[in-house]
Amino acid sequence: MKSSSRGYVIAGIILIVAMVLGQVITFLIAPESWQVFSERLPVILAMITFWGPIVALLSGLFVYIVLRLLGFASLEEIRLESVEQNNPTPAIVFVGTLIASILFLMLVIRP
């Protein structure tokens, strides 16, 4: 295993341990709140599975329309503009769409 792959594995393990430790601490501090959240979790997951594909479709459509309006006809043109001409516009559009999608999910998913 390469050292870079090993670094990713170690980082992943650290993140998982931090998440589990956070859940244990939360349970010890406020077990009632943790219990209510765990009972409500199936409803939240159902909302995500319902709205997730809709948001993904709308986001994809938004990216397609905006990139067409910016004059990009293909993914190759976007790559050329981003990498070879050092223009961050396509990356900004993708990140903006990602942020908008997360905000939309926050609006439609109410626990």
Q: Has this prediction a pTM greater than 0.85?
A: no
- Counting the structural domains of the chain, the total is 1
Convert the pLDDT of each residue in 56-94 to its tens digit: 888 888 878 877 887 888 778 877 887 888 888 777 877
In this predicted structure, the answer to whether residue 19 has a pLDDT above a threshold of 90 is yes
Residue partners of 108: CB distance under 8 A and separation at least 6 = 47, 51, 55
Residues of the domain holding 104: 3-108
**Around Cβ 52, how many Cβ atoms within 10 Å?**
13
Q: How confident is the model at residue 30 (pLDDT cuts 50, 70, 90)?
A: very high
CB atoms within 10 A of CB 107: 9
